[in-house]
Structure 1
Amino acid sequence: MSATRLWAVIPAAGRGTRFGSEVPKQYLEVAGRTLIAHALEALLAHPRVAGAMVALSADDAHWSGCSELHGKPVLRCAGGGERADSVLAALHALPAEVSDDTLVLVHDAARPNLRGEDLDRLIAAAEAQADGAILAAPVRDTLKRADAVAHIVATEPREGLWRALTPQAFRRGSLTAALEAARAAGVAVTDEAMAMERMGARPALVEGREDNLKVTTPADLALVEYLLNLRLSSRTQ
């Protein structure tokens, strides 16, 4: 298969209210850059990625105005109230030359520690089948089901369970149709794979590094900063 160029989509219209910061969490700085800047760097440094579309809130006052990275375009569009709305808006806003068969990588703006080797394996898996693929990690901890007052009521089997990570890689046309169908049915999908699953697809699970963390809490931010600084120091030695 020829090395077709891909596009990246980053939904970044969220307010990050659960994090508890006045600044949307994607604009918090770690290791000298904002979280979203690290995410863009990881994607656009890959030779197969041709450009990125970032979905921002209409009143975003924090966006850096970045329009190019590694000689590749960084475009922006208006996102929506939910993640799926932002991803769908970004898919519609991609340049006309991005065909329905083009593979699109959807990546969290607050997931800054993506590694190139994970991208390599994800792209290879997604190109090998029509249903696409996602980075994921097998569940290794024992799982407990709780009642309304946080008492254990059952231990759940973890066999066959994975944690969904990003990027998630699907062809533009198929993902657009899946997200539009979910919206029409009033189904709130929490990731792109869920939308594809509703259409009967069975995306591949590609095991990725567990330090590809999504920043959700202040503790996550501290851990990601440590990991990024560790990577930076290893490059300078």
Structure 2
Amino acid sequence: MAEEVKEKAEALDPRFMTSLARGLEVLAAFEGQEGLSVTQAAKLTGLPRSAVGRCLFTLERLGYVAAEGTSYRLCPGVLPLGRAFLLGDSLARAGQPVVEALRDRLGESSSLAMFDTRSRHRAVLYVCRAETMRIISVPLLIGSMLPSYCTSNGRVLLAALTPDALRAYLAGAELAARTAKTLTNTQALQAELARVRDQGWAMTDGELEPGLRSIAVPVRGPDGQALAALNLATQSAHRDQGWLLHTALPELQAAAAHLGRVAFR
């Protein structure tokens, strides 16, 4: 959460705990990092060094990080925090066998993703993952975060937002060009999301990384709301768009319908 957002939250509600928010920000800064110094963590979070130092001292005392010289690294004690969600959320709990079955049937990597609730629709988080090979330059694991605007999972979820929520997202969206194919124009993205909403699926082709092709469908709750997105991803040299549409899409749709039933029965 940005500093100005935290200040606004504090002003609006005295129950907001700045110290807790800062501690969580510092913990989240370790994403993708083998270790962080106080200075590095302060730069990543935008927090004062003194506040970061106190957070790391507290996290060390609680067993979430360990000091190594002037740096800190995460400890195994953080793992139960994520495991609690995976065991407690019905979609995440039921989703892993589904993505594994898709991978085994189709021979391509499959994932279940939800909005990252920290980022107001700007990113999606993988809550289930079954991989055949590395299809992107960084490893994609449970907990990996990717931008919403240029991923098939993200577009499925963005297309399901209410008109007001989508307008708010588009008004503040930073549409960086990840590749030469990335949609970076707000109007073009809005038009694409309208197509996704009408057809019920999203496909991206080389927009996140060159050669990465992906298709996704929504997973709906009992009320019809899209709560997650189920996708299949491959290399463009391996599968063409026709295979994704005619072979993968029906499998994804059937798997998403099955997941929606078993997760909420």
Pick the structure with greater CA Rg: 2
Q: Select the structure that is richer in strand.
A: 1
TM-score for both structures, normalised by structure 2: 0.26
Higher relative contact order (CA 8 A, sep 6+): 1
Q: Select the structure that is richer in helix.
A: 2
TM-score for both structures, normalised by structure 1: 0.28
